[in-house]
Amino acid sequence: MEMDVEGVDQISSLPDALLSRIISHLGISESIRTSILSRRWKNIWKSSSCLHFDTNFLTKSRIDIYERGASFRNYDRKRLYDEISRATGLVERVIDSHETKLVFCSISHIEDNLKSGLVERLIKNLKEKKLIEELSLVCEKLFVSDRFQCNLPPGIFFCRTLHVLELKGYRLKDASPFESCRNLVTLRLDSVNLDDKTLSRVILNCMFLEDLCLCSCTGLKKIEIHDKKLKSLKLNDLDLEGVDIEAEGLSILVLNSVSCSVNMKINTPTLLEFGFCSDGGRLQKSTQIYSRIIDLLERCCGLLQQKPNNGFVNCSNPFGQLHTLSISLALDSQMEQHILDHIFRLCTHLQKLCISIPPNNTGPSDWELPYPTFMFWEKRELHDSITHSLKLVKIKGFCGKEEEIVFAKHLIRKAPMLRRFVVECGENCSETGARETLGLSLEPRASVNLSIVLKPEMLAEEFQCPQIDNATQLRSAVFFASYEHSHNM
């Protein structure tokens, strides 16, 4: 325990409510160990609002196997299962010893715990005795050959206090465990195997669902969501044949590393935040996946119109009310610059823009232009989003390429409402690119309140970039404004 100069235990002098809140951030093993610190600490963990039964609690031997890199084939499978089953069985005793209601509980288990009925008993105990509000269940797969289906009884997740549910590593044969889940507000499915029909039934059963996240799920071919109450939808690492989203109340939509080979339809008229990022490493392995993502972006912003028998579906503008956009684009690609330009045109209320530049971009060949590529943004029409609403811009993976520098200068010079411009240099940024990037801080600015932040900060120190005070910024802005006025007359 931390002592002050007089040897007084400052932490133990804190009230019990605060101590239990601190303990709630620990794993269950560490939480219980605090009971040996003193007589006062003996029962503090029992009033914690959160319990985390992580994999370290299941078995020390399993962690040792990972650390040694040993093969499961060289380990006694039955012994490993028995050891984990015994450890998981202790979860019941710990929950029974807990004395107050639980806000959050996370449990890692193996498939045998499903077959034996242990997981069902734990869920019922948490619902009926602990009035659980947020529950996370993780099914650990110890062997590649493991194949199982969730055999939880119908309506097991129905609970008047349960609002947040996360399942990871499950295989859902149907939606029966979600029957009558009227109180569920947030549902996260990670690495879950389920088909299209099951997903539709799950959403239908959770009639007041507002937040849905699907990450690395398998078995899905087409995601079809028609829901007026859904407010947030996040799709991560999915390979699909079709997406059909009709959600009038949706305000947040995130599509990360999502490929769609055939049909795409998005109708979200009240969308406020949109994120579309790709896993750069994954994209480099497959130009086909890259092309699908580019197609998806083009369809979202209306560059591709509906054509007979080609599988493309024209989308209504989902960006009319958008104020936050996170997107993965290569700024040195003319095709993707066209996409970004159309997004500026559609997002008339855009305030925050975050661009992630994929490393070693190997996208499709660019379109041919009647002028040099570095003149692209100079030739584009200034949209309302740039001249009236854009306040924050952040670019990650910046390499100081000519097209990247030109785009950055375009916003610095043309966005009078811009308050903060953050540039994070990527690992592939050359010395020449770094010098060009540092030059951005000297650019005349359309906004006298603009702050330009270059990261990493050590870059500025290494090249001894001068600090620009507010007076210099003001003089630059006035000079540039005068120049623009005389130039346009």
Residue-by-residue DSSP string for 210-259 = -EEEEES-BS-SEEEEE-SS--EEEEEEEEEEEEEEE-TT--EEEEEEEE
pLDDT score of 161: 94
> Shortest CA distance to 89 belongs to which of 65, 64, 53, 63?
53
Transcribe 270-311 into DSSP letters: T--EEEEE--HHHHHT-HHHHHHHHHHHHHHTT-SPP-TTS-
Distance CA 132, CA 101 (A): 7
Is residue 95 exposed (0-12), middle (13-18) or buried (19+ Cβ within 10 Å)?
buried
Output the CA–CA distances (angstroms, integers) from residue 167 to 177, 191, 201, in the order listed.
12, 8, 16
pLDDT score of 336: 82
How large a percentage of the chain has pLDDT more than 70? 68
Rounded to a whole number of angstroms, the CA Rg of the chain reads: 27
pLDDT score of 159: 92
88-103 confidence digits (pLDDT tens)? 667 888 888 877 888 9
pLDDT score of 413: 95
User: Treating both helix axes as pointing N-terminal to C-terminal, what angle do 334-346 and 287-300 enclose, rounded to 10 degrees?
Assistant: 30
Average pLDDT over residues 313-332: 77
| DSSP bridge partners of 168 | 138, 190
Tokens 């605060």 appear where? 18
Tokens 């997981």 appear where? 119
Higher pLDDT, 278 or 64: 278
Average pLDDT over residues 312-327: 72
Q: How confident is the model at residue 114 (pLDDT cuts 50, 70, 90)?
A: confident
Q: What is the mean pLDDT of the chain?
A: 77
Distance CA 420, CA 422 (A): 6
Count of Cβ atoms closer than 10 Å to residue 425 Cβ: 21
Residue type, position 178, single letter: F
Higher pLDDT, 425 or 465: 425
Q: Is the pLDDT of residue 261 over 90?
A: no
Encode 149-191 in three state secondary structure.
CCCCCCCCCCCCCCCEEEEECCECCCCHHHCCCCCCCEEEEEC
43-85 confidence digits (pLDDT tens)? 777 778 888 886 555 554 444 444 444 444 445 666 666 666 6
How large a percentage of the chain has pLDDT more than 90? 37
pLDDT score of 487: 45
Q: Phi and psi (nearest 5°) for 71? A: -85, 140
What are the structure tokens assigned to 423, written together?
Answer: 């540039």
Lowest mean pLDDT across 287-296, 320-329, 388-397: 287-296
216-250 confidence digits (pLDDT tens)? 999 999 999 999 899 999 999 998 888 889 998 99
Helices vs strands, H then E, count in the chain: 17, 15
pLDDT score of 283: 38
How far is the first Cα of the chain from the last one, in angstroms, to the nearest whole number?
Answer: 73
